[in-house]
Structure 1
């Protein structure tokens, strides 16, 4: 409740009111009439000091092969190539074609170029639903452990750590293990 005249308190409240000396002066003098000012005072502007500037991390833009249309991320490790050895790429594409994928559906990233990049950054950029890691050297930094040739489901992501194509080219058993897991991925 707002009371314009302090003398009205004596009619509203039945109890005795005791005021301090400083407050008594306020109620004994007539209220000042304040004329509204036509010009409003400018609001203070906030200017950040040197400590307030925050360096934002540079957004990562990955160089990858494919179109990433179906959220299928393939991580490789080839120091001498941009993405993969041509023969290995042909073998991977042959396998993926049998599973109903084309190059436009996947994204192939060579981890050699992004050695310090965390898995979380890769996951935010590519938003994969399926993840294929070709060889133990291709495992991204700070990724939870995966068991070799065992599918791992984590939320909406299905991940598979398998042999590199160098290892598969040397062993028929490795090729069979790779194919069996790829059919489930």
Structure 2
């Protein structure tokens, strides 16, 4: 015969620790058990999902595209003479390719007195090359001597030269003297010109 023992337990959930067998609850106890059970059940705590640190966007550096080197074209000069002695004579004639015929004849007679010919010298007209520098002229003609006939025939970027006073420019003997325009009507200029040119 089954003997029913009524045990009063404040928390019906504790029965499972006391009895190993199946437990049957009376109807009056079922309500309390269900309520207690529901109260003891707690919602599982869900931890917030770990937020991944923001991924830094890779900063793309602009790729340097090499630019082509643009070289300034070297000037090409027209000239008279063959430059055998590398004796450069600079003139300035806006109305002629090189020199007026009368002045060219006077120049040829002058260099002949120095035992030179047009084969030995070179004449270029700077009126055709405004702004040309002494560096460009030197690179092209490679002169050993430089004769400048008149202030208007002075190239750009040259150190100041004293009239009728031989000087050295970049290791080159140089002489600034009168132009033939100035000398043709002035005998004193002709004499001063010859005094300097004959020993230059």
TM-score (norm 1): 0.71
Please state which structure has a larger fraction of its residues in helix. Answer: 1
Mapped partners of 1:141, 1:59: distance in 2: 15
Which position in structure 2 is the counterpart of 1:121? 136
Contact 2:79-2:124 at 8 Å conserved across structures:
yes
Alpha carbon RMSD of aligned pairs, Å?
Answer: 1.5
Mapped partners of 2:171, 2:133: distance in 1: 19
Larger Rg: 2
TM-score (norm 2): 0.66
Instruction: State whether structure 2 residue 174 is matched by structure 1 residue 159.
Output: yes
Contact 2:84-2:119 at 8 Å conserved across structures:
yes
Match for 2:70 among 32, 55, 63? 55
Q: State the shift of 1:50 in Å.
A: 5.1
Mapped partners of 2:106, 2:74: distance in 1: 33
Which position in structure 1 is the counterpart of 2:190? 175
Mapped partners of 1:118, 1:109: distance in 2: 13
Instruction: State whether structure 2 residue 186 is matched by structure 1 residue 143.
Output: no
Query: What's the secondary structure of 1:103's corresponding residue?
Result: coil
Tell me the alpha carbon deviations over residues 11-54 of structure 1, each in whole angstroms, 9 at most, x when there is no partner: xxxxxxxxxxxxxxxxxxxxxxxxxxxxxxxxxxxxxx754211
Q: State the shift of 1:100 in Å.
A: 1.1
Instruction: Give the count of matched residue pairs.
Output: 138
Which position in structure 1 is the counterpart of 2:88? 73
Gaps of 5+ in 2: 1-63
